[in-house]
Amino acid sequence: MNIDPKNTAFGRHETFPLRYAWLTKGYKAIVERPDIFAQPDRAMVKLGVGRNMVSAILYWLQAARLIDYVDGQAVPTELGHTILGEQGDRFLEDEATLWLLHWLIASNARLATGFYWFFNRFAFPRFREDELRAGLIDFVARELRIERSASTLKSDTSTLLRMYAPGDPSEPGRGEDHLDTPMSQLRLVEQTGQGREFLSTRAARPFLPPLALHVALAECFADDGKGQPAIPVRDLLYGRDAGAAPGAVFRLSEDGLMTALNRVMRAWAGCYELRDTAGVHQLYRVRDIPSPEAILQDYYRQEAAA
């Protein structure tokens, strides 16, 4: 999903990082009553959380592309049904689902703009929290050329760090988030122990589930409006045309991306090939790639039968 300065969102999470139970609870509530989020008092009772958390749950369901919300009515997307429905991974027990949800959020330039910016555009592997905040403020002012309050942008950077960086559970304000946010398990952002300094480096990440990269690649080819049969590996690593890059979102080194691509090609033989064309290393789409929903349905079906 490419970034559009006219269609961005910051700070809508109410400063609450995504928590394990929220997506499952929110999805179930919507299936039972599509207008539940239009009635905050009823939603508070149903979900067992406060008013601000109700808003946060609604936001994360949208940011992860699991529901559409229009005129007070919430409708699960096909992806939402596939992941959180009876045949999916309702309780987020499969690590591949967590990596997939990370991709769905970090590639969502429209509804999770700050998160998209961090994983696709912020290039510093070592940084302090104030440097991260300054980078987002500069990006919004110089590249998007829109006005957003400093406090709103600060809420995005602080929430992102609490959501992704495993911290000391004894540190004030971090213990509960650290224990309950699924994204910290991915270790894509780490606190160095030197004050408020963090690391988010590209690495081999041999534990990256091939499923997550396969779905990301399917979306990259689907988003290619030019109908090209190939994407340069460099674009998959660093991005192009302001779009999301799997290599950047999953924080893969060049060797790590190549290894991960080969794992995908072995797991889904006949979908992709790596070729050198006119000196450019490219990933080719050999045949039509199934939709992300079809890929996931097949994966969850096989996992259930295993």
Q: For 176-231, how does the pLDDT look when each residue is reduced to its tens digit (9 = 90+)?
A: 545 589 999 999 999 987 778 999 999 999 999 999 999 999 999 987 655 678 99
Model confidence at 171, pLDDT cuts 50, 70, 90, reads low
Residue 214: give its domain's CATH number: 1.10.10.10
What pLDDT is attached to residue 306? 79
Residue 1 belongs to a domain: no
Same domain assignment for residues 218 and 298: yes
How many other CB atoms are found less than 10 A from the CB of residue 290? 16
Model confidence at 138, pLDDT cuts 50, 70, 90, reads very high
Same domain assignment for residues 91 and 239: no
What pLDDT is attached to residue 166? 79
Residue 215 belongs to a domain: yes
N residues, the chain: 306
**DSSP H or E run through 161:** helix 150-164
What pLDDT is attached to residue 228? 73
For 23-78, write each residue's pLDDT tens digit: 999 999 999 999 999 999 999 999 999 999 999 999 999 999 999 999 999 999 99
Domain stops at, among 178, 199, 220: 199
Q: Which two tokens stand for residue 222?
A: 């689907």
Domain count along the chain:
2
Q: Is 232 helix (H, G, I), strand (E, B) or coil?
A: strand
What pLDDT is attached to residue 172? 52
Please give the residue that has the higher pLDDT: either 200 or 240.
200
What pLDDT is attached to residue 224? 61
Domain stops at, among 177, 199, 221: 199
Same domain assignment for residues 195 and 224: no
What average pLDDT does range 88-103 have in this prediction? 97
Q: How many CA atoms lie within 13 A of 294 on its CB side?
A: 6
Residue 114 belongs to a domain: yes
Contacts for 286 with CB less than 8 Å, ≥ 6 apart: 270, 271, 272, 273
Same domain assignment for residues 82 and 165: yes
Domain span holding position 183: 20-199
Residue 132 belongs to a domain: yes
Please give the residue that has the higher pLDDT: either 194 or 275.
275
Residue 164 belongs to a domain: yes
Same domain assignment for residues 57 and 133: yes
Q: Which two tokens stand for residue 65?
A: 């592309």
Domain stops at, among 199, 232, 257: 199
Residue 283 predicted with pLDDT over 60: yes
54-59 own/partner pairs: CB under 8 Å, 24+ apart: 55/12, 55/14, 56/13, 56/14, 56/16, 56/22, 57/22, 57/23, 57/25, 57/26, 58/26, 59/12, 59/13, 59/14, 59/111
